[in-house]
Structure 1
């Protein structure tokens, strides 16, 4: 494995090959730190020591008609999660203000479901417009499920700059995790938001029984689609979901996956999302060497690391927070991880922890 060659390609903004990406995943645990260091050189070249913070707010939780096997909000899931319809707008904007006050430049407002109706799209557009008005330096990203170009245009006109909709896994593996919609439906949403002038944010979930080749295939597919942000989720095998028995990830494996994503997407935002705390554990500071974006505090239906601990980890590791009024700032409305990034956090026995509430821990 020629890490120097991979770094040289990355510094030129070029992706490693499929064969090289597979080498990274297949490497022994003893090679994890050298791999992280190599990916870190590329990360620092394009993003320095900046870290973008993302803050999640769930607009609507549970009761989703889709049967995604990894998701606590999916049809058929018996997971013990909050279930409610649209929360009050003032609650939304108070949480936005709280997230920004704690350093978040990305605030994710989530609505579960297959995709928004025209009425739902207008509702979220009004929220976006108010955020844009009250926090003009903050970028806005929306994610509400499957979307067509017309609805994407409504969100863009309101001020949305980004839309998140994860591919989640490779085309060859997709039928194993969901049958109520397909890989092509997700890819069509990414294409639609791009056509509407919105930057696509799309990523994956690792640990769902996929092969190394399938992991590499979805990461390369995302690169070919030109996504600007790549959330990397690690499956939380929450009790009550179809994938509750999947516990195949280790801290070293997760770090190699993140490094592979960075070396395929050298100049894109790589975001460490759900599962960071549960799977990477004491090695979490190494995530910052590879990813330039993380979530602050809680996820959708899960508890993350307390926000103050995230902030301390960033500064103790020699990184700095990008402010909403500085190098970057993003408010993310939704995240397809209404089904993907938001699976509940578990304790050591696999028991779900109760959420502290939306936002900062």
Structure 2
């Protein structure tokens, strides 16, 4: 690839191959991640042709509700809510049904299509499950929002109860490759995560599963994560970028460079062409003024904030989306 025009043709040919039904080889996915900054805009343009085919220029908004914070017994090295972390965060028990439902009304007012109820912890206890199911039932009876929950690991009975309550989608991120997972968590295994993800799919619920990039993994690990998600047939892929938090085991890691994050988004779009690809935690920190470029491969974002960090806010997200020539997608487009 000696010139920009050669580079453009090369990436566009692979985009065309993907749109014709060819599965992107892992070797080409790795080539995307190794590509230089000179190739970045042609790469994003090629990724955009895939995104446009399946999602047009719409951007789906999701709002997270951190319904229970901190006090988690797991030792995930990236997480400020972990038992192994000394981060200065607000901790609180599970919110009430009324608070969770009110959060859904706020999400609807911000043009969200999906409301994501998240709790810390290894697995939901009976009381927590009852509250979540009650809140979801009330939301589904009164609002057009789609509901995603992220409550940790599940068994088949808990999956069934969530589905019967009206949960549309369950989030359980793989986070990284199987090979790298042991470096970031020891209190549960990669296979534990896969088990919950497979139960969700087997029950007929949508699966939201993605990863957290920038945890010291190799580029090959990133490709293997995308390949594992493709094998799972995940419906939605949130990509988080590590925001090194003081008090966590990864607090001294250097944040990812924006071009590397954009290349990763493009690679995941090539690998998972028809799946919802969401720019999640770390978007503002890592992409900064280049956030709008992330919308060329990705078709959704979290707005309003994340679990323990604030975002730039709905109004600023709305301006960013519209000034880049995209639009906020309606619930009927989801």
TM superposition score category, shorter chain reference? over 0.9
Q: Quick one: distance in 2 between partners of 1:28 and 1:229?
A: 28
TM-fit CA distance, 1:30? 1.6
Any unmatched runs of 5+ in structure 1?
A: 329-361
Q: Quote the Cα distance in structure 2 between the aligned partners of 1:132 and 1:248.
A: 39
TM-score, normalised to structure 2, is 0.95
CA distance in 2, matches of 1:156, 1:165: 15
Deviations 1:32-82 (A, max 9, x none): 111111101100011001111011111100000000000010012111111
Distance 2:121 2:29 in 1: 34
SS at match of 1:160: coil
- Taking only aligned residues, the RMSD between alpha carbons, in angstroms, comes to 1.1
For the 8 Å contact 1:15–1:266, the answer to whether it is kept is: no
Q: Is 1:93–1:131's contact at 8 Å kept on the other side of the alignment? A: yes
| Pairing of 1:15-34 with structure 2 (within 5 A) | 15-34=23-42
Of the three residues 41, 44, 48, the one matched with 1:40 is 48
Query: Given the alignment, which residue of 123, 129, 137 partners 1:129?
Result: 137
Q: Counterpart in 2 of 1:104?
A: 112
Structure-2 separation of matches of 1:6 and 1:128: 42
Q: Which has the higher helix share?
A: 2
CA distance in structure 2 between the aligned counterparts of 1:188 and 1:205, rounded to whole angstroms: 19
The equivalent of 1:274 in structure 2 is 281
Shift of 1:151: 0.6
Name the residue aligned to 1:57. 65
Name the structure, 1 or 2, with higher relative contact order (CA <8 Å, separation 6+): 1
Given that residues 122 and 152 in structure 2 are in contact (C-alpha distance below 8 angstroms), is that contact kept between their aligned partners in structure 1? yes
Q: Is residue 77 of structure 2 the alignment partner of residue 89 of structure 1?
A: no
Structure 2 gaps of 5+ residues are 2-9
1:263 equivalent among 270, 275, 281: 270
The answer as to whether partners of 2:279 and 2:301 remain within 8 angstroms in 1 is yes
* Superposition deviation, residue 316 in structure 1: 1.1
Across the two proteins, how many residue pairs are aligned to each other?
A: 326
Residues 236, 276 of structure 2: 8 Å contact kept: yes
Cα distance in 2 for residues equivalent to 1:92 and 1:14: 43
Contact conserved, 2:243 with 2:255, CA < 8 A, in 1?
Answer: no
Paired position in structure 2 for 1:181? 188
Q: Which of these residues, 324, 330, 333, is aligned with residue 327 of structure 1?
A: 333
* Mapped pair 1:119 → 2:154: no
Deviation of 1:13 (Å) = 4.3
